[in-house]
Amino acid sequence: MNRVKMRGMIEIIVVLVLFLLIAFGAIYLHTSSQNVFSVSKEAYRIEARVIAQGGFEKGILLIKEAFRLGHFNWQYPIQSGCNFAPREFSKKLGNGQFRIESIKHAHIYTQKDGKIGPYKDIPYIINGIKKGYYNLFEISVRGMVRGVGTTLKGIVKVIRYEIVY
């Protein structure tokens, strides 16, 4: 074989190896950028959950305030009797915001019987002695941070003690 043919063959091999290295580099760059994107999105989701937990606590405070004012069957968004300002249900915290979607009397679901409830004004009895009443409320809060959101739902038991003089 003469040198010209050999040089042409070497150039083709070098170009192919270079092309393969560029292809593998592009694949690696794409994969690593996708991982960075998903990690940052998960970080925003965690932050949104923490903000939603702050909104959940705000929901508990609103229920307590409604009870203090004597509105034991108060719910949101229906609000009967005790009307809080709309700004109480949506606030900015840090980099995000929360929005209370609903506060309602809780229903417990079972497979056999279907829907049971609502749980409101149930006697609160300890050691056979009636101490007052309790209600179960279901609170649903949405937390958002930079377009990434999460919804937090939970059940809260609120006890009203009867004061005996």
Number of structural domains found in the chain: 1
Q: Is pLDDT of 162 > 70?
A: yes
Closest CA to 102 of 131, 83, 78, 67: 78
Residue 53 clears pLDDT 80, i.e. is over it: yes
Banded model confidence at residue 77, pLDDT cuts 50, 70, 90 = confident
pTM, two decimals, is 0.72
Burial category of 104 from C-beta neighbours within 10 Å (exposed 0-12, middle 13-18, buried 19 and up): middle
Give the domain extent around 20.
Answer: 3-161
H or E element in which residue 139 lies: strand 129-145
Say whether pLDDT at 129 is over 60.
yes
Indicate whether 111 pLDDT > 70: no
**Mean per-residue pLDDT of the chain:** 84
Instruction: Classify 82 as helix, strand or coil.
Output: coil
Query: How far apart, in whole angstroms, are the C-alpha atoms of residue 120 and residue 137?
Result: 8
Instruction: Give the CA count within 13 Å in the CB-facing half-sphere of 48.
Output: 19
Report the distance separating Cα 3 and Cα 116, nearest Å. 90
